[in-house]
Amino acid sequence: MDDSNQKEKGPAWEQGLLRDLALAALKEQRAARRWGIFFKLLFFVYLFIAFAVWSALSSGDLRMTADNFTAVVDLNGVIKADSPAGADKVVTGLREAFKHKGTRGVILRINSPGGSPVQSRYIYDEIRRLRKKYPQILLYAVIADMGASGGYYVAAAADNIYADQGSLVGSIGVLMNGFGFVEAIQKLGVERRLLTAGENKGMLDPFSPLKEEEKVHAQGVLGKLHGQFIEAVKQGRGERLKQDPKIFSGMFWSGEEAKELGLIDGFGSAGFVAREVIGAEEMINFSRKDDLFERLAERVGAGSARALTDSLTTLSDWVRM
């Protein structure tokens, strides 16, 4: 009797035991998964904090404890809006460098082929304003590989300009370039349909013939911009410039030739100027950099929008120094 009851209960008891074991195993897996997620999140938080600290250190946010140093601001690459060499970032760095109580001198470290006349002028004007506001602090432009066109426009505002003998310096001129595809589309049998409101709105359209009056007008605009560039260089360099018409012809020179023409004052790197000229060997970089959140936003969201914007050619893209 008992044996038969045990046999009848056996399968149900075994099924219950298996079910309990399965539930227990499932709970353990869930708990292990939760702990795994927790530790992964903790690890990412650690990386986030470490990156934030590194970003702060690299951008000079801990410079407030320093005293009696040479402030450095970098101008690298093409000078255009929304770029590391744009006026907003360069001007912000310069303002912070000048107003810091520990700044003994400021170095604007330039490595640029030029860019936007407007952005270059913004930086030029701000340098001159800061020099007047802080007359006890001198600003030295130090040209690395290249300080040409808009890059030299900015440098001309400095108290003194240094470069290497092999640096490329000058190119004081303005250009507007593009392409003409009139004959190409004719050979392909393509009809150009351009509708405008304003007789000159389609000026310099690459698929339409270039009119003489359009060419004359564009040349006049470039001449005005070139004149502004020349005047800025003359104001900045003064009597140090040699009386040589080639200086403003758009030619560029080596650092050695630039010194003979009065375009620069001497030879030396940023480290040399900080140590031997300013007398404060310690250098602290005040260059404006995007913070962590701005970088993430740039990569995740704004990157796609910028790619679309950059794909559209405007007249401002054609005119540059």
> Catalytic residues, which ones?
149, 201
| Beta pairing class for 160-163 and 139-148 | parallel
**Burial annotation 115-148 (CB, 10 A radius, 16+ → b, else e):** bbbbbbbbbbebbbebbeeeeebbbbbbbbebbb
Q: Which residues contact 287 (CB under 8 A, 6 or more apart)?
A: 59, 60, 72, 73, 74, 84, 89, 93
Q: How far apart are CA 281 and CA 72, in angstroms?
A: 12
Q: What is the DSSP string of 106-132?
A: EEEEEEE--B-HHHHHHHHHHHHHHHH
What tokens appear for 240 in the block? 């140090």
In a 10 Å sphere around its CB, with 0-12 CB exposed, 13-18 middle and 19+ buried, how is residue 166 labelled? exposed
The span from the CA of 37 to the CA of 300, in Å, is 24
CB 263 within 8 A of CB 237: yes
Tokens 């040589």 map to which residue?
A: 244
Whether residue 152 contacts residue 125, with contact meaning beta carbons closer than 8 Å, is answered with: no
Q: Which residue has the tokens 């007398």?
A: 279
Rounded Cα–Cα distance for residues 115 and 97 (Å): 24
Give one DSSP letter per residue of 291-303, joined into a string: -HHHHHHIIIIIH
Distance CA 237, CA 264 (A): 9
Polymer length of the chain? 321
